[in-house]
């Protein structure tokens, strides 16, 4: 007998998969993307099915992993398939008797093989995008990468990471409206991913009216205060608050909120090597702004980020340099 939470999660997943099929049957420009959003939601519902089972068997774990991976394959999301869905299948398979695992995987294995080949064929035709993915560094040829991102997303509209990168390319091309649409697509596909939320917060002051940004930041500030903050969310809040403050005369309340969150972010486990240094630099910048002084480039040197100052010899504003480095719309591994 299944529990009520398990039954509800099973029902939700089935309804979402059915809705995705119906949306594809309707057709239209955004049908594949909108179906992908529904299938990603189905994969999250399938994860909740397993969480609702007390001490699930190894076979049940494998069957559930297969269902989730299948939804992500149908959701046209190489990132999620290769980094979440398929690893879960392989991990669960290792705990099941070989013959049983082969039987359970009889359908997913050929689908996965076909998906990988399709993915490889698409990337083979996109040299700029492939080079960026392999190097993990900021792009240099914006026009070429933008074209290839569009071609990639035409094949795989469910890849949230690529929508985030497309948003960054739009921002570099100064098309804020399209950048906002792209990051909202990433957020719809992966609402639990804090990096995409950080990107959304970073773009927000560029796109929304100041009053609306202020209202949203107040809500995020309260969320950080009562929840379990992470570096992504703290970076997103502080970057949005500083950018909004610069546009609205540096109101003291907003600067103080940003400082509070920078202090929180400095204490949470970092995601990348320079995270704590960047939070430290933010604290110095905000202290200077609260004191009515203009932050100087020495702040970057004091925080161990002197390489960024050296790389920008003609610039003296540490806040502008930091805002460019903090954006998640490009690879932060290069930082």
Q: Give the CATH number of the domain where residue 166 resides.
A: 1.25.40
pLDDT tens track for 306-317: 999 998 888 899
Cβ contact 275:231 at 8 Å: yes
Here the tokens at position 210 are 């100041």
Is 213 in the same domain as 166? Answer: no
* Largest pairwise CA distance in the chain: 71
Here the tokens at position 265 are 């972010």
Q: In the predicted model, what is the mean pLDDT of the chain?
A: 91
Is 98 in the same domain as 152? Answer: no
d(CA 24, CA 37) in angstroms, rounded, equals 12
The boundaries of the domain holding residue 24 are 4-123
Is 222 in the same domain as 273? Answer: yes
Residue 130 in any domain: the answer is: no
pLDDT greater than 70 at residue 234:
yes
Residue among 33, 17, 307, 14 nearest 187 (CA): 33
- Eight-state DSSP code of residue 84: I
Is 185 in the same domain as 68? Answer: no
- When pLDDT is averaged across residues 225-247 and rounded to a whole number, the result is 91
CA 205 to chain centre: 18
pLDDT of res. 331: 41
> Which letter, b or e, does each residue of 68-90 get, where b requires 16 or more Cβ atoms within 10 Å of its Cβ?
bbbbbbbbbbbbbbeebbbebbe
- When pLDDT is averaged across residues 232-247 and rounded to a whole number, the result is 94
pLDDT of res. 315: 87
Is 58 in the same domain as 38? Answer: yes
pLDDT-derived band at 62, boundaries 50, 70, 90: very high
Residue 129 in any domain: the answer is: no
pLDDT greater than 80 at residue 136:
no
Question: Where does a domain end: 63, 96, 123?
Answer: 123
pLDDT tens track for 162-210: 999 999 889 988 899 999 999 999 999 999 999 999 999 999 999 999 9
pLDDT greater than 70 at residue 139:
no
Residue 322 in any domain: the answer is: yes
pLDDT of res. 280: 95
Is 166 in the same domain as 107? Answer: no
Is 203 in the same domain as 318? Answer: yes
Is 114 in the same domain as 42? Answer: yes
Is 62 in the same domain as 155? Answer: no
pLDDT-derived band at 332, boundaries 50, 70, 90: very low
Is 205 in the same domain as 287? Answer: yes
- When pLDDT is averaged across residues 318-333 and rounded to a whole number, the result is 73
Is 272 in the same domain as 332? Answer: yes
Is 335 in the same domain as 213? Answer: yes
Residue 131 in any domain: the answer is: no
pLDDT of res. 12: 87
Cα–Cα distances (Å) from 257 to 50, 220, 237, 273, 310, in that order, read: 39, 11, 9, 25, 30
Question: Where does a domain end: 123, 153, 181?
Answer: 123
DSSP 95-111: TS-HHHHHHHTTTHHHH
d(CA 120, CA 112) in angstroms, rounded, equals 12
Question: Where does a domain end: 91, 123, 155?
Answer: 123
- Eight-state DSSP code of residue 71: H
Residue 83 in any domain: the answer is: yes
pLDDT greater than 80 at residue 277:
yes
Residue 132 in any domain: the answer is: no
Domain count, the chain: 3
Question: What percent of the chain is predicted at pLDDT more than 70?
Answer: 96
pLDDT-derived band at 333, boundaries 50, 70, 90: very low
Residue 271 in any domain: the answer is: yes
Residue 147 in any domain: the answer is: yes
Here the tokens at position 259 are 């400082």
pLDDT-derived band at 334, boundaries 50, 70, 90: very low
- When pLDDT is averaged across residues 288-302 and rounded to a whole number, the result is 95
pLDDT of res. 2: 67
pLDDT greater than 60 at residue 330:
no
């Amino acid at each position: 007998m299944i529990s009520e939470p398990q039954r509800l999660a099973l029902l939700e997943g089935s309804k979402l998969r059915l809705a995705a099929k119906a949306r594809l049957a309707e057709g239209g420009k955004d049908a594949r993307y909108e179906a992908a959003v529904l299938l990603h939601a189905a994969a999250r519902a399938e994860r909740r099915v397993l969480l609702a089972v007390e001490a699930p068997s190894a076979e049940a774990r494998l069957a559930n992993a297969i269902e989730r991976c299948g939804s992500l394959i149908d959701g046209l999301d190489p990132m999620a398939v290769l980094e979440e869905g398929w690893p879960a299948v392989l991990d669960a398979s290792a705990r099941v008797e070989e013959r049983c695992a082969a039987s359970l995987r009889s359908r997913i294995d050929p689908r996965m093989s076909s998906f990988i080949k399709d993915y490889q064929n698409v990337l083979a035709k996109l040299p700029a995008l492939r080079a960026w993915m392999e190097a993990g560094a900021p792009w240099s040829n914006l026009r070429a990468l933008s074209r290839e991102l569009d071609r990639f997303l035409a094949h795989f509209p469910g890849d949230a990471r690529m929508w985030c990168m497309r948003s960054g390319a739009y921002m570099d091309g100064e098309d804020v409206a399209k950048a906002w649409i792209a990051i909202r697509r990433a957020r719809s596909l992966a609402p639990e991913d804090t990096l995409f939320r950080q990107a959304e917060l970073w773009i927000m002051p560029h796109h929304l009216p100041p009053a609306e940004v202020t209202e949203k930041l107040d809500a995020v500030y309260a969320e950080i205060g009562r929840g379990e903050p992470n570096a992504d969310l703290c970076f997103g809040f502080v970057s949005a608050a500083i950018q909004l403050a610069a546009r609205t005369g540096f109101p003291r309340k907003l600067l103080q909120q940003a400082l509070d969150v920078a202090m929180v972010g400095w204490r949470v486990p970092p995601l990348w090597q320079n995270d704590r240094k960047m939070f430290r630099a933010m604290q110095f910048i905000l202290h200077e702004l609260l004191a009515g002084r203009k932050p100087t480039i020495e702040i970057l040197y004091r925080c161990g980020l002197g390489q960024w100052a050296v790389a920008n010899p003609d610039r003296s504003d540490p806040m502008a340099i930091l805002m460019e480095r903090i954006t998640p719309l490009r690879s932060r591994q290069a930082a």
